[in-house]
């Protein structure tokens, strides 16, 4: 399959082309049945001859080209409707009836706050042109009306509030929220790309629109992505505040699978400057080695790194409710545990050459001994709760 992407250097185009190339090059193994031979990228710096050649050979066209922020309102129609006409005329010229996808916008509904939108009118004109082209030629046309988009590589201070806020928090820039209660419908770029690739496989979702409302329909004229998130500006800002504080608090916010928070966190990270990509951790150092907390979680404890110098024994304490995993990743050591009130000791010889996870059991005093005379013992430690100095639940007793 040979695929033409117009507007390839834009936000959606970059993400789509990267995904298509991964499939083409065999790097994406999740779609083994989809074979892509060529991905042609057309943008404002391309030449007409390329459009002509690729329209002649393409098996599918994603038309993402458009104008969002022109100097003059008249440029909306020229950039959005005008190029769409050129593209379809070129396909007609070569009798190429391959499927064509059009990226449109909610503003094409021309309802509510979009009722007097020059941008919306230009997008609606493009939609009508594509639907008429489908009637005339019999070619499949896939028209998507995108809500607000967000994700990596989205340009801040342009047409995405999420990109603007992410960039501001990542780079310590000022930002303004006029009304925190304003709700946005947001579509994550990876979800959109998955939906667009699905239509290459004869899948995807069809609908009709009632104003801004999606009405799923198997015979609908339009396409839509079923995974969107409705979030207020205030909620977005509060999440970003917590993300920006993570290097200081070590707290990983709750980011359940598929949640808006998870997608926003990944988006936020993509805007970090070099000086924030790495951040220092507080190492608690003494003559025995060091102990460093790595991450905290809201409801699932913390992860730390413990380094023991040669011949050193650490631990020698027990807990009531607190429990831990000890995972030696480098060096050679011995873990001992003894149930309180007994003389029975269970032992585990551990090594970075044979990584395993050892439970530190509640009610058992335990230690970890570096058996090496020359090498440090490095242990990843997970604890089911964040250390609370006011309630440490830790009591000294030798094994």
Residue 284 has pLDDT above 50, yes or no: yes
pTM score of the predicted model: 0.90
Q: Which of 42, 119, 133, 222 is catalytic?
A: 119
Per-residue pLDDT, averaged over 178-202, amounts to: 96
Half-sphere exposure of 243 (CA within 13 A, CB side): 28
DSSP letter (8 states) at residue 218: T
Q: Are strands 222-223 and 141-146 parallel, antiparallel or unpaired?
A: parallel
Residues contacting residue 23 through CB under 8 Å, at least 6 positions apart: 31, 34, 36, 197
What pLDDT does residue 19 have? Answer: 98
Domain spans, the chain: 2-146, 283-396
Tokens (6 digits) for 179: 């009304």
Q: What is the pLDDT of residue 382?
A: 98
How high is the pLDDT of residue 80?
A: 53
Asked whether 325 and 361 are in contact (CB, 8 A), the reply is no
In the chain, % helix, strand, coil (3-state, to 5) comes to 30, 30, 40
Q: Residues 111-163: pLDDT tens digits?
A: 776 767 777 887 888 889 999 999 999 999 999 999 999 999 999 998 899 99
Is residue 265 annotated as part of the catalytic site, yes or no? no
Burial label for 131, CB within 10 Å (0-12, 13-18, 19+), is middle
pLDDT for res 72? 47
What span, in angstroms and rounded, lies between the C-alpha atoms of 114 and 108? Answer: 8
Q: Which of these, 310, 399, 330, 314, lies nearest to 361 by C-alpha position?
A: 399
pLDDT tens digits for range 100-114: 999 988 888 777 767
> In whole angstroms, how far apart are CA 150 and each of 116, 270, 375?
25, 11, 48
Cα 83 to chain centroid, rounded: 31
Residue 55 has pLDDT above 90, yes or no: yes
**pLDDT score recorded for residue 65:** 84
Question: Which phi-psi region, left, alpha or beta, contains residue 204 (left: φ > 0; alpha: ψ -120 to 50)?
Answer: left
**Contact by Cβ (8 Å): 240, 166:** yes
What is 283-396's CATH topology?
Jelly Rolls (2.60.120)
Give a three-class secondary structure readout of 34-85: CCCCEEEEECCCCCHHHHHHHHHHCCEEEECCCCCCCCCCHHHHHHHHHHHH
Is the domain 2-146 a CATH 1.10.287.3510 member?
Answer: no
What's the start-to-end Cα distance of the chain, in Å?
67
* Predicted confidence (pLDDT) per residue in 343-359, tens digit: 999 999 999 999 999 99
Check residue 91 and give left, alpha or beta (phi > 0: left; psi -120 to 50: alpha): alpha
CB contact at 8 A, 21 and 40: no
pLDDT digits (tens, 9 = 90+) for 71-110: 444 444 454 567 888 999 999 999 999 999 999 888 887 7
């Amino acid at each position: 399959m040979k695929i033409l992407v117009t507007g390839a250097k834009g936000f959606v185009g970059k993400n789509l082309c990267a995904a298509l190339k991964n499939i083409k090059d065999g790097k994406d193994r999740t779609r083994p049945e989809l074979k892509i031979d060529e991905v042609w990228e057309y943008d404002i710096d391309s030449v007409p001859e390329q459009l002509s050649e690729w329209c002649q050979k393409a098996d599918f066209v994603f038309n993402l080209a458009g104008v969002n922020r022109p100097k003059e309102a008249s440029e909306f129609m020229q950039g959005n409707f005008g190029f769409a006409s050129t593209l379809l005329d070129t396909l007609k010229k070569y009798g190429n009836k391959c499927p064509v996808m059009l990226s449109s916008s909610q503003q094409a509904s021309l309802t509510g706050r979009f009722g007097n939108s020059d941008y919306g009118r230009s997008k609606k004109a493009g939609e009508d042109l594509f639907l008429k082209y489908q009637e005339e030629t019999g070619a499949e046309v896939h028209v998507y009306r995108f809500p607000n988009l967000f994700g990596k590589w989205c340009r801040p201070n342009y047409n995405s509030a999420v990109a603007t806020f992410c960039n501001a928090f990542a780079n310590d820039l000022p930002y303004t929220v006029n009304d925190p209660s304003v709700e946005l419908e947001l579509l994550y770029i990876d979800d959109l790309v998955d939906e667009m690739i699905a239509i290459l496989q004869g899948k995807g979702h069809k609908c009709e629109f009632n104003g801004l409302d999606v009405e799923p329909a198997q015979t609908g004229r339009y396409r839509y992505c079923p995974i969107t998130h409705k979030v207020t500006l205030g909620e977005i800002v509060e999440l970003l505040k917590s993300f920006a504080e993570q290097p200081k608090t070590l707290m990983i916010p709750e980011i359940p699978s598929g949640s808006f928070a998870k997608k926003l966190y990944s988006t936020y990270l993509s805007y970090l400057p070099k000086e924030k990509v790495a951040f220092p951790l507080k190492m608690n150092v003494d003559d025995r080695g060091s102990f460093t907390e790595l991450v905290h979680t809201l409801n699932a404890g913390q992860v730390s790194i413990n380094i023991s110098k040669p011949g050193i024994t650490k631990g020698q304490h027990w807990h009531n409710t607190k429990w831990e995993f000890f995972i030696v990743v480098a060096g050679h050591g011995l873990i001992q545990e003894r149930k309180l009130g007994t003389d029975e000791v269970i032992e585990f010889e551990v090594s970075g050459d044979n990584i395993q996870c050892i439970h530190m059991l509640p009610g058992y005093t335990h230690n970890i001994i570096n058996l090496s005379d020359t090498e440090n013992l490095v242990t990843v430690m997970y604890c089911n709760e964040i250390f609370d100095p006011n309630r440490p639940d830790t009591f000294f007793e030798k094994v």
